[in-house]
């Protein structure tokens, strides 16, 4: 279910590691002609591209599971008290809203990889693909996850940054030079795109054109 409907992961871990599929590179190529990319600062403008991870219909995201307590000593009532959430369907991630009084809107499980592990101060934003200038297969517009590292606040003109304007509003984009009165809140680590059946492309008969083909 959409984040926006409920409150307003990365490639699945494999024994041999993970790979970036050809479809990810195709996303970059298609972004050059996307109508959203005409807005400077978005993905595909100024020869700058956000790191993208495209899930497919076989990927299984990490599942968020509640901790009931410590054994021995736990009671039957305590063991039965936590409410479990269903696993995310293949190609999608899973949100958790177990702390409605906390400052976060919820939590989401991201897969094990160096980008997540090495992030100094990570948070996730939920947005629509069009807001970032992404052009997806079959012109689909969908909800995506933006992982930011708030520990990375140095200016780099070739990176996508989350910046605060003088009025406190947040913008995600690249800059040739940071405007006066703007401050860097963090750097975009990568954007996760779900798998949707509406993104499926017609089979050409060539294995290298298959979205699941790995080099």
Which letter does DSSP use for residue 184 in this model? Answer: E
For the ranges 102-106, 143-147, 159-163, 184-188, the lowest mean pLDDT is seen at 102-106
Dump pLDDT digits (tens) for 3-16.
444 443 333 333 23
Q: Which two tokens stand for residue 150?
A: 């708030």
pLDDT value, residue 7: 42
What mean pLDDT is predicted for residues 190-213?
Answer: 72
Q: What mean pLDDT value characterizes the chain?
A: 76
Residue 154 has pLDDT above 90, yes or no: yes
What's the chain's length in residues? 215
Residue 160 has pLDDT above 80, yes or no: yes
Percentage of the chain beyond pLDDT 90 is 26
CA distance 23 to 130: 18
Q: Which two tokens stand for residue 144?
A: 């995506």
What mean pLDDT is predicted for residues 91-110?
Answer: 79
Is cis: bond before 204, omega within 30 of 0? no
Dump pLDDT digits (tens) for 41-54.
999 899 999 888 88
CA distance 94 to 63: 7
Residue 178 has pLDDT above 90, yes or no: yes
CA distance 188 to 133: 14
pLDDT value, residue 126: 92
pLDDT value, residue 111: 80
pLDDT value, residue 206: 60
189 Rama class: left (phi>0) / alpha (psi -120 to 50) / beta:
alpha
- Cβ atoms of 101 and 117 closer than 8 Å: no
Q: 36 or 194, which is more confident?
A: 194
Model confidence pTM above 0.85: no
What mean pLDDT is predicted for residues 160-173?
Answer: 91
- Dihedral of alpha carbons 35, 41, 43, 49, sign: positive
């Amino acid at each position: 279910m959409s984040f926006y409907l409920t409150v307003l992961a990365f490639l699945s871990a494999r024994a041999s590691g993970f790979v970036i599929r050809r479809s990810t590179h195709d996303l970059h190529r298609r972004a050059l002609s996307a109508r959203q990319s005409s807005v400077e600062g978005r993905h595909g403008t100024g020869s700058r591209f956000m790191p993208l991870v495209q899930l497919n219909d076989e990927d299984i995201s990490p599942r968020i599971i509640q901790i009931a307590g410590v054994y021995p000593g736990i009671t039957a009532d305590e063991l039965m008290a936590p409410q479990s959430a269903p696993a995310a369907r293949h190609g999608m991630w899973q949100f958790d809203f177990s702390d409605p009084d906390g400052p976060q809107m919820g939590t989401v499980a991201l897969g094990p990889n160096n980008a997540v592990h090495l992030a100094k101060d990570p948070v996730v934003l939920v947005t629509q693909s069009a807001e970032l200038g992404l052009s997806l297969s079959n012109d689909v517009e969908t909800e995506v996850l933006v992982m930011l590292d708030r520990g990375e606040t140095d200016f780099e003109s070739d990176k996508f940054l989350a910046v605060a304007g003088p009025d406190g509003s947040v913008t995600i984009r690249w800059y040739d030079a940071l405007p006066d009165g703007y401050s860097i809140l963090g750097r975009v680590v990568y954007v996760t795109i779900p798998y949707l059946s509406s993104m499926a492309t017609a089979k050409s008969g060539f294995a290298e054109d298959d979205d699941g083909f790995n080099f």
